[in-house]
């Protein structure tokens, strides 16, 4: 094992696998559409393999520094020149993103399978679900690995196309409505991104990120800022940064619980990752930092104020998702090592906690037949275990001390105080207020859904008829009286276990905060330094 | 880098029309708008690729050109066209489904969004609670008695 680990080619072999493995598995599962057991086995195998590969990549990237793979050997013709072909790059940041994403993807697929086995009828999980899910995984990994802008665009498109299918699965009325606005907004953002790519190519004659990082230095300041702004708009829509975030709470809540969970965890974070790359690799120097800081502040405050007004829990969580993107933008826009490190830590924390919360809402919906505060009540007495799995990630999101949310926030606040400008202090204040309001929002869910009696809820006597898995049966079934609802039994282990596993990983982020934060600090150093990335891709000049 | 004026005018025209169509509520028009914008961007990438020249194949020349045309721009455009085509097909399917379900093919408002935005200030504060005792009828008796409709307390 040790000799294998020391082999310098191992990293090169592992690098493309997070894209290849799920794509191959998607092809196989598509053919195995009629054998659900085989489909499930292949999916679980592929995603477990991805977790192992990503863990190895984290280790290798941390030990040996940035790994660059010139696909097909079309590398630079001479040192210092841009490569001819596609480049895949793994540094500490992308390796960490890969690891966290693949853990989340694996847990959610277990949850979806558990839900399908327990609540699905013969048609569920739909035979198209697992292949599409694997394509989504491949797209996410491709975006994290991309070493050139166009490959990043392709990664985005792969994950978006898959997400369109997952969001509209079953094509019920409500999902088609949500799907249309989601598709349109995503397409507009892709068009803006493509426009940015065209303009960058016109200005520099290359799309390789390492080479761009060198060449953009020679472009005039005005042009540079304009290019950066175009790319930021594209990534801002994907990451749901405030003026561009209105699409998210409209479209996410209608999807099935596991789909919403994986979207909430991963898709916006891919946008945040792209912002990090653009901000520190392509356009260092912080021309847009003031704009980003203001956008971050507004994202936090507007998002959380939106959450206060909601009574549907999935929408409420979507608004907190938007709000907490603001923290990451804040960390990035500070342009300091501590800020970047805090932002990276926060991304990892937020992927885990937001996914967990959406999975818990899926459980609430199944057990209580509703996900709106107008109907929920008495859950703490009905199921103390459900109350426990809700309260841990909820307090984590709110940033209560022992949890990782607190550690991430403290790092960001410290970074803000270190910069010390008026705007930075305003953001520090804004983050504290947002954090308190997040706590208010989750305690509101807690007191209403868990503590009060269901009789006190205005519509507490109503309920959805039966739990469903992936398909939306709101058209077939009307609301029924709660007393007439069949007993759904205990929470299925297949759904509870993945949720519990994600909570545990989230807690590990707090227990191992020391080593992990040291890792994100090295990652931030590497991201801000640029030299390692450039020399890994272009060769030593 | 040199470029030509004519493609730029076309790019501008296509984008303008595309954005105008995209702002409509009808889905077919929005899709047409998206397609126009994507064509405009493809043209933009083509113009970014520089002037015409020999085909980028070793040993091939074309009508006395001295430079080689940029193959990368064309590769990018091909990929972009394929992606746009796939998504356009998906949007058409969604449009048809939406038409079948609603007999309109327009972008609908989110019902929950509408509901939340139509609440008044006091409603939104109490939206998730059962209406409490009526304070205007508050008497010395316990609130439970006050809350019973028609029970006027000691008044």
pLDDT of residue A402: 83
The rounded distance, in Å, linking the Cα atoms of A321 and A221 is: 34
CA A114 to chain centre: 22
User: pLDDT digits over B64-101, tens only?
Assistant: 777 777 888 888 999 999 999 999 999 998 888 888 88
Residues 6+ apart with CB under 8 A from A469: A112, A115, A116, A118, A119, A120, A124, A125, A256
What are the structure tokens assigned to B71, written together?
């193959």
* Paired residues of A70 in beta bridges: A87
From the list A194, A310, A458, the residue facing B116 with the nearest CB is A310
The rounded distance, in Å, linking the Cα atoms of A408 and A524 is: 14
Chain A hits for B67, Cβ within 8 Å:
none
pLDDT of residue A22: 93
Hey, are the CB atoms on B97 and A171 less than 8 Å from each other? yes
Q: Are B62 and B54 in contact (CB under 8 A)?
A: yes
The rounded distance, in Å, linking the Cα atoms of A538 and A531 is: 10
pLDDT for B147 beyond 60:
no
CB atoms within 10 A of CB A400: 15
Q: Which stretch of A9-13, A64-68, B37-41, B142-146 has the lowest confidence by average pLDDT?
A: B142-146
pLDDT of residue B154: 41
Hey, are the CB atoms on B116 and A309 less than 8 Å from each other? yes
pLDDT of residue A1: 44
> What's the gap in Å between the CA of A237 and the closest CA on chain B?
16
Question: What three-state secondary structure class fits A82?
Answer: coil
> Which candidate, B80, B71, B97, B1, places its Cα nearest to that of B43?
B80
The rounded distance, in Å, linking the Cα atoms of A480 and B130 is: 19
Q: Give CA separation, A290 vs A156, A276, A295, B3, in Å.
A: 27, 15, 9, 34
pLDDT for B149 beyond 70:
no
Helix axis angle, B27-48 relative to A173-204, nearest 10°? 20
For chains A and B, count residue pairs whose Cβ atoms are closer than 8 Å: 109
pLDDT of residue B153: 45
Question: CA torsion, points A371, A372, A376, A382, in degrees to nearest 10?
Answer: 20
Q: Are A133 and A166 in contact (CB under 8 A)?
A: yes
pLDDT of residue B155: 40
pLDDT of residue A238: 92
Hey, are the CB atoms on B102 and A188 less than 8 Å from each other? no
Question: What three-state secondary structure class fits A386?
Answer: helix
**3-state per-residue secondary structure call for chain B:** CCCCHHHHHHHHHHHHHHHHHHCCCEHHHHHHHHHHHHHHHHHHHHHHCCCCCECCCCCCCCCCCCCECCHHHHHHHHHHHHHHHHHHHHHHHHHHHHHHHHCCCECCCCHHHHHHHHCCHHHHHHCCCCCCCCHHHCCCCCHHHHHCCCCCCCC
Residues 6+ apart with CB under 8 A from A252: A260, A263, A264, A314, A318, A321
User: pLDDT digits over A156-214, tens only?
Assistant: 999 999 999 988 887 788 888 888 889 999 999 999 999 999 999 988 888 888 888 88
Q: Which sign does the torsion angle of CA A207, A213, A214, A216 carry?
A: positive
pLDDT of residue A214: 86
Ordered mean pLDDT values, 10 residues apiece, chain A (541 residues): 58 87 92 83 92 91 84 74 84 92 93 78 67 93 92 93 88 83 91 92 87 86 91 93 88 87 91 92 85 92 90 90 92 90 92 92 85 81 86 88 87 90 90 92 89 79 71 60 73 86 90 89 88 82 55
pLDDT of residue A236: 93
Chain B hits for A199, Cβ within 8 Å:
44, 48
From the list A183, A188, A310, the residue facing B94 with the nearest CB is A183
Hey, are the CB atoms on B83 and A157 less than 8 Å from each other? yes
Chain A residue whose CA is closest to B89: A161
Chain A hits for B27, Cβ within 8 Å:
180
> What's the gap in Å between the CA of A501 and the closest CA on chain B?
32
* Paired residues of A248 in beta bridges: none
Mean pLDDT, chain B, integer: 78
**3-state per-residue secondary structure call for A185-230:** HHHHHHHHHHHHHHHHHHHHCCCEHHHHHHHHHHCCHHHHHHHHHH
The rounded distance, in Å, linking the Cα atoms of A215 and A510 is: 41
Hey, are the CB atoms on B87 and A161 less than 8 Å from each other? yes
From the list B30, B34, B95, the residue facing A191 with the nearest CB is B34
Residues 6+ apart with CB under 8 A from A372: A311, A312, A313, A459
Hey, are the CB atoms on B107 and A179 less than 8 Å from each other? no
pLDDT of residue A428: 92
From the list B1, B45, B90, the residue facing A164 with the nearest CB is B90
Hey, are the CB atoms on A201 and B87 less than 8 Å from each other? no
pLDDT of residue A312: 87
The rounded distance, in Å, linking the Cα atoms of A492 and A193 is: 43
* Paired residues of A312 in beta bridges: A372
């Amino acid at each position: 094992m040790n000799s294998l680990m020391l082999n310098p080619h191992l990293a090169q072999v592992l690098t493309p696998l997070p894209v290849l493995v799920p794509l191959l598995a998607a092809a196989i599962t598509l053919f195995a559409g009629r054998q659900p057991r085989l489909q499930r086995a292949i999916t679980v195998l592929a995603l477990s393999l991805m977790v192992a590969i990503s863990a190895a990549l984290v280790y290798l990237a941390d030990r040996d520094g940035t790994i660059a793979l010139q696909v097909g050997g079309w590398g630079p013709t001479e040192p210092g020149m841009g490569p001819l072909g596609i480049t895949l790059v793994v540094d500490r940041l992308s390796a960490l993103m890969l690891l966290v994403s693949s853990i989340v993807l694996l847990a959610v697929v277990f949850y979806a399978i558990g839900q399908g086995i327990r609540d699905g009828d013969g048609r569920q999980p739909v035979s198209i679900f697992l292949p599409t899910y694997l394509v989504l995984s491949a797209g996410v990994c491709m975006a994290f690995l991309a070493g050139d802008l166009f490959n990043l665009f392709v990664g985005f498109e792969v994950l978006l196309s898959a997400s369109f299918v997952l969001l509209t699965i079953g094509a019920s009325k409500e999902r088609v409505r949500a799907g249309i606005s989601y598709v349109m907004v995503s397409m507009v953002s892709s068009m803006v991104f493509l426009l940015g790519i065209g303009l960058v190519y016109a200005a520099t004659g290359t799309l390789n990120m390492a080479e761009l990082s060198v060449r953009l230095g020679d472009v005039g300041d005005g042009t540079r800022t304009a290019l950066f702004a175009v790319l930021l708009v594209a990534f801002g829509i994907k990451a749901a940064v405030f003026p561009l975030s209105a699409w998210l709470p409209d479209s996410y809540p209608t999807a099935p619980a596991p789909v919403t969970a994986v979207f909430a965890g991963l898709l916006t974070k891919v946008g945040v990752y792209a912002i990090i790359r653009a901000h520190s690799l392509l356009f260092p120097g912080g021309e847009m930092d003031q704009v980003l800081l203001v956008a971050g502040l507004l994202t936090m405050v507007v998002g959380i104020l939106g959450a206060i007004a909601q009574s549907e829990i999935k929408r409420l969580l979507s608004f907190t998702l938007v709000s907490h993107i603001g923290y990451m933008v804040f960390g990035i826009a500070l342009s300091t090592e501590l800020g970047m490190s805090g932002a990276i830590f926060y991304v990892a924390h937020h992927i885990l906690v937001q996914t967990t919360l959406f999975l818990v809402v899926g459980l609430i919906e199944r057990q209580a037949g509703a996900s709106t505060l107008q109907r929920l009540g008495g859950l703490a007495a009905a199921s103390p275990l459900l109350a426990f799995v809700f309260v841990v990630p909820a307090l984590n999101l709110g940033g209560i001390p022992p949890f990782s949310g607190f550690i991430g926030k403290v790092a960001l606040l410290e970074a803000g105080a270190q910069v010390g400008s008026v705007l930075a202090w305003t953001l520090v204040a804004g983050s504290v207020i947002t954090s308190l309001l997040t706590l208010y929002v989750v305690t509101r869910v807690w007191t209403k859904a868990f503590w009060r009696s269901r009789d006190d809820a205005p519509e507490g006597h109503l309920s959805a008829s039966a739990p469903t898995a992936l398909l939306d049966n709101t058209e077939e079934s009307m609301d029924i009286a709660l007393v007439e609802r069949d007993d759904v039994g205990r929470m299925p282990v297949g759904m509870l276990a993945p949720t519990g596993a994600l909570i545990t990983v989230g807690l590990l982020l707090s227990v191992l905060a020391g080593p992990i934060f040291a890792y994100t600090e090295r990652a931030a150093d590497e991201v801000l330094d640029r030299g390692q990335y450039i020399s890994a891709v272009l060769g030593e000049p | 880098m040199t470029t030509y004026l004519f493609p730029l005018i076309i790019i501008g025209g296509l984008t303008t029309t595309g954005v105008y169509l995209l702002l409509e509520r009808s889905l077919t028009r929005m899709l047409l708008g998206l397609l126009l914008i994507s064509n405009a961007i493809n043209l933009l990438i083509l113009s970014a690729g520089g002037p015409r020249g020999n085909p980028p194949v070793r040993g091939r020349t074309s009508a006395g050109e001295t430079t080689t045309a940029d193959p990368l721009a064309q590769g990018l455009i091909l990929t972009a066209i394929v992606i746009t085509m796939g998504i356009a097909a998906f949007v058409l399917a969604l449009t048809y489904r939406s038409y079948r379900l609603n007999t309109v093919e327009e972008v609908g408002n989110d019902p929950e969004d509408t509901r939340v935005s139509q609440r008044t200030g006091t409603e939104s504060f109490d939206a998730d609670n059962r209406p409490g005792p009526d304070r205007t009828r508050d008497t010395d008796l316990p609130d439970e008695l006050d809350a019973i409709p028609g029970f006027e307390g000691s008044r």
